[in-house]
Amino acid sequence: MQYVSTRGHAATPSFSEILLGGLAPDGGLYLPAQYPQVSGAELDQWRKLSYADLAFEVLRKFATDIPEADLKALAHKTYTADVYRNTRAGEHAAEITPLRTLEEQGGKKLVLQSLSNGPTLAFKDMAMQLLGNLFEYALAKQGAELNIVGATSGDTGSAAEYAMRGKKGIRVFMLSPHKKMSAFQTAQMFSLQDPNIFNLAIEGVFDDCQDIVKAISNDLEYKAAKKIGTVNSINWARVVAQVVYYFRGYLAATTSNEQKVSFTVPSGNFGNICAGHIARMMGLPIDKLVVATNENDVLDEFFRTGIYRVRKSAETYHTSSPSMDISKASNFERFVYDLLGRDSARVKDLFHKVETAGGFDLSGQAGSDGNEFTSVIQYGFASGRSTHADRLETIRFAEKTYGITVDTHTADGIKVAREHLTPGVTMIVLETALPAKFNETIREALGRDADRPAGFENIEALPQRFEVMPADAARVKAYVAQHTGL
């Protein structure tokens, strides 16, 4: 398996070569030169597998340069009932990502796939725990070290830090928007006292944090000298790990490969649903991939109109589903690359236009940059939007109708999913976090606190360790250099 950059860089590196990096040298994102295909016979065989064994089967198609025995051991080390133990009542930890039927009537079926049973109570653990083990494995092989610089709107940061804490040869520098995460999310990150974890609270919004990470990744000399890597969803290994639970969800929801399912995915940075796109390109029988956004509806606008219009920091809303308060979806480039027939020169031009003019237009209208929006339907994409009022209403509806409490982002997903139900096609909503992470809104919706798993009872009261810093890439680079000694 060889990889290519969405912007046409000539080299075709292996999985292990791109694992420890982030962006390609030309600023593009890595994708397989060709998507591996999954046959019906393989799907039949995979129905019987444990999550760890399924992860191995998917990963071996992409990480062909890692010995299979080692890859299998890493999958089994990662996906255990002990790591993914924060299950709801009636769920089994051994299933890792159990399904729960929410409603079924008139041939329409709505199902929730639990992805938040890991140590930080968010779906990011599904990939990040594997990434931590892959990093440690690769660094040990090379006798090397890695300084991870990442950006988070809430959940990526804690998932990365919990996965990397104490790992030999790894330091984590995590940028987050100052005072724009929930109290629980903030405490999860800032209360960590491990010496290899550094939290930087950036005065700005998530997109400012993400821009700094990209600026550092694009400074190739600095990146090499300071041994910089990334855990954001631009990291290909993270996307691959997320592909696994789409296969798991499909196989658990169906009895035959003749059946199709759809997925609704709360989305801000397009990483999670990009994994669904890749699963579909591999041959998984997915009908629709529904993007659910909050008030920051850049992606919904594109999938309705063909216009990708990035918002400025001042135009980015601070919402009650803060992990999706994103107006520049860094993984979107991977889908656009496929949408444009893998024309890397056009991709490079369009994303240069994003940086200089704030977006591009594929609607086919007069003066547009192309007409590829007409092809979006071939890839199964649809979208919808949810507001704070919708969120409160859906949380109350889920409590009353389904007997469960859902977090704000999952509520966005349920609201949009119910608008796209199709008779005969099971709709799976990907849960993104447990409600305890967004207790302020749960209390507003239900008049009570969300339940908390054991060990998180008083997390907000723990001492916090972080640095406040302006949205300045040079300041962040100097801080990283100072604390790595490189």
Residues with a catalytic annotation lie at 124
d(CA 30, CA 238): 12
Q: What CA–CA distance (Å, rounded) separates 356 from 350?
A: 10
Determine phi and psi for 110, rounding to 5 degrees: -115, 125
Q: How many CB atoms are closer than 10 A to CB 427?
A: 25
Residue-wise burial string across 311-339, b where 16 or more C-beta atoms lie within 10 A, e elsewhere: beeeebeebbbbbbbbbbbbbbbbbbbbb
- Give me the phi and psi of 301, to 5 degrees please: -60, -45
Closest of 226, 177, 219, 218 to residue 200, by C-alpha: 177
Distance between CA 485 and CA 224 in Å, rounded? 14
Nearest to 71 by CA among 19, 23, 143, 120: 19
Answer for the pair 50, 66: CB distance below 8 angstroms, yes or no. Answer: no
Rounded CA-CA distance 207/355 in Å is 12
C-alpha angle 207/213/219, rounded to 5°?
135
